[in-house]
């Protein structure tokens, strides 16, 4: 497997195109304006009747306005991609890119919303104040462990879905990929030894979701920058005070009491999920060689994985995945988040439970199986757009089972709704490009 060159051309084009287009997303009307009379309907005086109806029954805001299809992508810019703490203004192009994906693949109207907040309390208060305008919130690129407290608080105190894609989205797509990788290697989740290398947002959430899906936490080993987590580690009291989420993993995982670092953790392990930082030298071939036969390695750091896939395969791994589209087996949350919110919005969900994420992950994995899985294709790609309505419908059904849906609908109806919304979004893009409203980029 060839090692790709750094794509400087993509960076150059990103700068040129971003200036040319002045951003990646905007708003567009969804009602006709045929004459001045229409303004008296859509705005004053007609709109007053709509406001009075909503005043009497605030839940009607989900029917009479676009609230039902609107989410905010909220960030404080403290951990943006692989760039780190770049601030809210510099986070905006990333949030715009995410909004574009939400619209194109999920039909969701997502508004990029970097927030200049002095601390997590101010960030939480700001997001909560926006609830009357929104059907959901996607938290994005917030540093750990602050992101855990923000997510837990907003999920508990808001009445619309609050989702942290770096936690739940990454965990969900890891689970989907693992379902198929385990099947290809003849394993079951309950009997598999899994090593999570890195204890940030992605892997802390992955540990929780794996447990909810049936993984035995005793078979799970988590490693942070100081080594394997276990109850007697010398900094365990500090973890209790400063990072209760990592503390709980130290108490509940690693049933074998393994101590040391990655080398010791991988001895006899079946699966490695690395979300530890930029590679390609964070993991050695000699460490992967200590894993069991038919090993599975997910190397998820972007843009440079913790080790090159070719090195992992040479060390004996049978299935290797990364977060990149230019290698086989991209494990990227973009396969999940547009459909997650499509499904949540279509049933007017109040939250997104772990069981809803697991249902979505199972549907993503099932779609791949129907198309045919192999060691080089364990998940669909972003080009398999038919998967998004299916995942959305599966999530909507589970939301109803969990008692978190304001709207009842059959799976068939939800599939039809999601297909229509995503199809319309794609048609609108094609029409705008064909008409020249969205022009060709400059050379």
Indicate which residues carry an active-site annotation: 43, 98
Cα–Cα dist 259/257, whole Å: 6
Cα–Cα dist 161/348, whole Å: 9
Cα–Cα dist 408/416, whole Å: 14
120, 208, 144: which is closest to 172 by C-alpha?
208
**Residue 73 belongs to what H/E stretch?**
strand 70-75
How does DSSP classify residue 281?
B
Q: Token digits for 177? A: 């990929």
Alpha helices in 268-308, H assignment, sequence order: 285-288
Phi-psi region of 353 (alpha: psi -120 to 50; beta: other; left: phi over 0): beta
Q: Residues near 370 by Cβ (< 8 Å), separated by ≥ 6?
A: none
- Cβ(389)–Cβ(415) below 8 Å: yes
How does DSSP classify residue 169?
I
Residue 299 pairs in a beta bridge with 274, 322
For residue 373, how far is the Cα from the chain centroid? Answer: 22
């Amino acid at each position: 497997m060839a090692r790709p060159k750094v794509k400087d051309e993509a960076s150059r084009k990103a700068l040129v195109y971003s200036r040319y287009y002045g951003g990646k997303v905007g708003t567009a009307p969804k009602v006709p304006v045929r004459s001045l009379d229409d303004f008296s309907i859509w705005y004053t005086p007609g709109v007053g009747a709509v406001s009075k109806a909503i005043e009497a029954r605030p839940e009607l805001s989900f029917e009479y306005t676009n609230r039902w299809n609107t989410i905010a992508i909220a960030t404080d810019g403290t951990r943006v991609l692989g760039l780190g703490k770049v601030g809210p203004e510099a986070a905006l192009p990333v949030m715009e890119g995410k909004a574009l994906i939400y619209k194109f693949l999920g039909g969701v109207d997502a508004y990029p919303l970097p927030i200049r907040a002095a601390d997590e309390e101010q960030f939480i208060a700001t997001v909560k104040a926006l609830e009357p305008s929104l059907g959901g919130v996607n938290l994005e690129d917030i540093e750990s462990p602050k992101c855990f407290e923000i997510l837990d608080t907003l999920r508990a105190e808001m009445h619309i879905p609050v989702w942290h894609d770096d936690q739940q989205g990454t965990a969900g797509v890891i689970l989907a990929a693992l379902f198929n990788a385990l099947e290809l290697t003849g394993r079951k989740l309950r009997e598999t030894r899994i090593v999570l290398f890195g204890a940030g947002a992605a892997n802390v959430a992955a540990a929780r979701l794996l447990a909810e899906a049936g993984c035995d936490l005793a078979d799970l080993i988590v490693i942070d920058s100081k080594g394997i987590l276990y109850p007697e580690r010398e900094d365990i009291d500090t973890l209790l005070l400063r990072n209760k989420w990592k503390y709980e993993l130290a108490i509940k995982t690693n049933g074998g009491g393994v101590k040391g670092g990655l080398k010791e953790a991988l001895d006899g392990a079946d699966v490695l999920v690395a979300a530890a930082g930029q590679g390609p030298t964070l993991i050695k071939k000699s460490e992967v060689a200590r894993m069991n036969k038919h090993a599975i390695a997910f190397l998820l750091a972007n843009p440079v994985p913790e080790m090159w896939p070719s090195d992992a395969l040479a060390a004996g791994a049978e299935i290797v995945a990364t977060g990149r589209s230019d290698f086989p087996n991209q494990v990227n949350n973009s396969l999940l988040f547009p459909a997650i919110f499509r499904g949540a919005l279509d049933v007017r969900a109040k939250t997104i439970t772990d069981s809803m994420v697991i249902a979505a992950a199972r549907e993503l994995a099932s779609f791949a199986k129907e198309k045919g899985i192999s060691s080089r294709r364990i998940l669909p790609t972003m080009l398999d757009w038919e998967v998004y309505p299916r995942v959305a419908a599966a999530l909507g059904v589970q939301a109803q089972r969990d008692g978190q849906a304001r709207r009842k609908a059959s799976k068939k109806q939800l599939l039809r709704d999601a297909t229509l919304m995503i199809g319309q979004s794609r048609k609108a893009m094609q029409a705008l490009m064909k008409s020249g409203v969205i022009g060709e980029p400059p050379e």
